[in-house]
Structure 1
Amino acid sequence: MNNQVFNSKGAEIEIEAFHPGEFLMEEIEFRQILKKDFANQIGIFPNNLSLIFAGKRDISAPLAIKIGKALGTSGEMWFNMQSAFNFKKAMQEEYEQAYRSSSKYSL
C-alpha cells in the first residue's frame, strides 16, 4: 500500500497527522449538534468528549462504533483515523529518538 501523496508538480507532500477528535468536533459543529447531546447519545460524559476534541483521549473501537452509529458514518472510519494518528505519532517519536541517539555521538 502506497501512502505517498504528490502535488501537481510531482513533489511528495508530507501529510501531518491530526487527532480524529479535531475532525469529530468539526463534524458535530457542522451538523449543529450540541456537544452535551452528542456526548449523551454516545454514552460518555461531556468532559470526556472535550478531552477527545482536545486530542487528550483516544477513540476506542467500541466508541468508534457508537460515533459511527450516531453520525450515520462508519465506525471503522473513526477507528482507522485514530489508528493512523497513533501510528504517525509513534513514527515521529521513533524518528526523534533515533535523531537524539545519533546526535549525541556526533558532538
Structure 2
Amino acid sequence: MSPSTKRNVPQHNPPHPGEILLEDVIPALDITITEMARRLGFARETFSRILHGRAPVSPDLAVRLERAGVSTGQLWLSMQSAYDLWQAEHREQPVIERFARID
C-alpha cells in the first residue's frame, strides 16, 4: 500500500472487544460470565465465544451493552471494526490491480 493510499490503521494489533469485556468490564462489575450472559440475553457458550475472540461483537450485543450501561454501542462496534480491519490488513490478500483514477 503506498503512503498516499494508506488508511489510518493502528500499527499494533488492537484487542478483540471481547477481551476488553473479559479482562476489564466483567471484573469491574464483579459479575460472573454466566450472569452477564444471562442479563444480556445470550447463551453462556455464545457469550464465551465473544469473550475469547472466536466471535465478533455484533450490533445486537453492542446495543444490549449500551442499554446495560456499559459504554456506547458505537464504541463496541468501533472496537470490533478496528480489530477486523487490522486482521484483514495483516492477512495474506490477493494481488489487486488498482482502478484507473476517476476525476
TM, length-normalised to structure 1: 0.71
Cα distance change on mapping 1:47 and 1:4 into 2, 3 Å? closer
Count of aligned residue pairs for this structure pair: 88
Query: Greater helix share, 1 or 2?
Result: 1
Amino acid at match of 1:42: L
Give the 5 Å matches for 1:1-107. Answer: 3=8, 14-26=11-23, 27-93=25-91, 96-97=92-93
- Aligned-residue offset at 1:37: 1.2
Distance 1:68 1:78 in 2: 9
Moved over 2 A (4+): 2-5
Question: Compared with structure 1, are the counterparts of its residues 22 and 89 closer, same or farther at alpha carbon in structure 2 (3 Å cutoff)?
Answer: same
Q: Is the 8 A contact 2:9 2:85 kept in 1?
A: no
Contiguous gaps of at least 5 residues in structure 2: 1-6, 96-103
RMSD of aligned alpha carbons: 2.1
| TM-score scaled by length of structure 2 | 0.74
Give the match for residue 100 of structure 2. Answer: none
- Tell me the distance in 2 between the aligned counterparts of 1:63 and 1:24: 12
Identity score, percent: 31
* Distance in 1 separating the partners of 2:32 and 2:76: 20
Q: Bigger relative contact order, structure 1 or 2, given CA contacts below 8 A and separation 6+? A: 2
User: Compared with structure 1, are the counterparts of its residues 4 and 54 closer, same or farther at alpha carbon in structure 2 (3 Å cutoff)?
Assistant: closer
